[in-house]
Amino acid sequence: MQTLLLHQQLTETARDFFKALRSRNYGEAKSRMSPAWQEVTPDELRDMIQNDLPLLPLSTASQFGLAMDDGTNAVLDAYLFFEGGHWISCGICLAKAEGQWSIDTVNLRLEDWSPEKLQQQPDLESHHAGVPARLAD
């Protein structure tokens, strides 16, 4: 039961973060981020996202999956959906500080996860060739 409640808490934190990004409310998005990000202004966060992760605010929906945690850090798998049926996977790292979970990093995997491609074998060499975009401190 405790694991289910934690997963729900992590999911809600991530969902609120993406909702703020989609509405271009970078002050609200920043409020969902870990203490390491608190010195970054909302305008700086906006610029970082526009330059490094421009797909994040363009997503129209998200689905959250498996979460793993060690009590102070957690990783949440997510899928971001876009107009036209495209979707990409995303790794969200959360940190717990003062009893509160918050977004620490977002790792966007720039693969096209369309249903047709799910049935193809991944090309491991090209999968590791590019460095994924990452929002980190």
pLDDT of residue 1: 59
Q: Residue range 29-47: average pLDDT?
A: 94
For residues 7-29, b (16+ Cβ closer than 10 Å) or e, as one string? bebbbebbeebbebbbeeebeeb
The domains located in the chain, with CATH, are 2-135 (3.10.450.50)
Q: pLDDT tens for residues 75-130? A: 999 999 988 888 888 999 999 999 999 999 998 876 554 555 544 444 433 333 33
Between 18 and 126, the higher pLDDT residue = 18
